[in-house]
Chains A and B, each alone.
Chain A
Amino acid sequence: MEKFYTRMGDGSVVELSESQLKRDLEEGTRDAAERAKIHPLSEDELSYLFDVYSSPAKFVGVDCGNEVILTCENSPVKIRRRGLLVHRVESLQIFEKLLGADTLELGHTDYSFKLLKIPIAYEQTDMEQALSMTTIPLFYGAMPNLGLYTQPDGPCLNPMELLPQGKISEARAAQEEMIEYAVKDMVYVGSKLYESGADGIDFDTTAAAGDADFLATLHAIEILKKKYPQMCIEIGMSGEFILGMHGELTYDGVRLAGLYPHKQLELAEKAGATIFGPDINTDTDKSGAWNVARAITFTKACVENSHIPIHANVGMGVGGVPVTPQPPVDAVSRASKAMVEITRLDGL
């Protein structure tokens, strides 16, 4: 019986039979479809995915003509993570000239809006210098990261400590207070960097702290778009499901807790986002094929529902890519090709 070389969600190698591979693809898409109440992938699409995942090629790519745009978050930190002693502006040039990026992003190592208030002048200066030296579009990015607003790091009571004590209303009040602080910081930092010339602002890992995190970001986007109507705003999510840490927060009458990507997108559009990045987390206990089928099912529903460009997150541990610091070429290229060719999205 033929076995196909493939990988699990943690990057480890596994050999699957034809029936096992097909079963994983079917179960992956069914899982997404049942959770989000969307259409599963069609037989043709599953057959295409089978061809991609049963191929013996180390590297696969899209058909010529189907290329999309790559928006790369926090380019300098990726270089720094490898221990290379390169200035941030030079890191951006490396991405621009050597790595084939279509857009760039300047970000701090401490990649959270709350913390950027302090070194803001340094961020602005680096942005201004980078803009004079690079040609391709340059974002400034950071994370809303609402957790930083809780004690002892921030001013608000910690809802993660209040909830286990049964103090639900106190936990909700704390999150509502966190939202106010976070919106101020996001608007302040976003404004400063835009006034230094940034082509856009990226809100990365939005909703990582749940529905309050998502709401704060939507409010910040609304304010920034009113202030700077020309500003490009990219919103990159942190998971396929909005955790209801508060549970009763709404935006434009829609409860945030429990939203899946195709519904998250609708609110992002209403707030004024220019580009939306759905994020589907990789399950390390499942195969790469299962994970990609699932991620593509969620993302396809997003693309079909969108009026703005969709740039899916297909980085480490998301979009079907394994959770490992050095994602393998075979796994990443398969996720990349499959995501683009089936969903027909606008970028990664």
Chain B
Amino acid sequence: MVSIHSAASGMGGMRTAGDLVGRMQMSRGMKIKEAKEYVANKLNVSVPDLADPVVMSEVREDLDIGMLSTPFYPGSAKGIEAKFHIAELLGIEINCVNRFKDRIGRKLR
């Protein structure tokens, strides 16, 4: 079912900027229009570009915020590392990033 909704009306997650817009809804309670405008501003793209996988794959590569086809880009950020970059880029707190920093910080002290 998710594949049908994704094709019919979804932003596309990591194919585009869907996860980033989702994070603005989750972290700041933004409605869809506000969340899209916020993310577009942070990525320096237009709002329509947010759902364009051709544009967003380049943007995600340039900003190193996690991409779909990782074997094409060895060394690119994945998982928690990508989320570190996303938190900084969007100016939001990401729970697992903060807890990771806290745990690593304790080990390094």
* Chain A interface residues (CB < 8 Å from chain B): 59-62, 64-72, 75, 78, 95-97, 99-103, 131-138, 194-200, 230-232, 274-275, 307-309, 314-316, 321, 327, 329, 332-333, 336-337, 339-340, 344-348
Contact = CB atoms under 8 A, between A and B. Distances in A.
A340 B5 CA distance: 11
A275 B6 contact: no
Interface in B66-109: 66, 68, 78-80, 82-83, 86, 93-96, 99-100
B19 A135 contact: yes
In this complex, the member of A136, A321, A337 whose beta carbon has the largest number of chain B beta carbons within 10 angstroms is A136
A102 B79 contact: no
Given A65-B47, A70-B2, A136-B13, A347 B25 contact: yes
A138 B80 CA distance: 12
Contacts of A332: 1, 4-5, 8
Contact of B9 (A68, A134, A135, A138): A68
A200 B9 CA distance: 23
Contact of A102 (B1, B8, B21, B65): B21
Contact of B6 (A101, A199, A309, A346): A101
A330 B9 CA distance: 13
Contact of B10 (A65, A102, A200): A102
B40 to A, nearest CB: 12
A100 B26 contact: no
Contacts of B79: 131-135
A332 B5 CA distance: 7
Given A67-B51, A199-B96, A100 B10 contact: yes
A199 B94 contact: yes
Contacts of B96: 131-132, 138, 197-199
Contacts of B12: 67, 100, 102
Given A133-B79, A337-B9, A69 B21 contact: yes
A348 B9 contact: yes
**Interface residues of chain A: helix, strand, loop or mixed (majority):** loop
B41 interface: no
B95 A309 contact: no
A102 B80 contact: no
Enumerate the 10 nearest inter-chain pairs by beta-carbon distance, A residue then B residue, closest first. A100-B6, A197-B96, A135-B66, A136-B19, A102-B18, A232-B26, A336-B8, A131-B96, A346-B32, A333-B8
Nearest to A138: B96
B4 A68 contact: no
A101 B94 CA distance: 19
A96 B8 CA distance: 17
Contact of A101 (B13, B48, B82, B95): B13
Contacts of B93: 230
A59 B19 contact: no
Contacts of B23: 137, 199
A69 B18 contact: yes
17 contacts: A62-B9, A64-B48, A67-B18, A69-B11, A70-B13, A96-B14, A100-B13, A103-B22, A135-B82, A135-B83, A198-B95, A274-B25, A314-B5, A316-B1, A333-B7, A336-B8, A346-B25
B2 A99 contact: yes
B1 A315 contact: yes
A307 B96 CA distance: 27
Given A69-B22, A97-B14, A346-B31, A199 B68 contact: no
Contacts of B83: 135
A231 B95 CA distance: 8
Contacts of A232: 26-27
B66 to A, nearest CB: 4
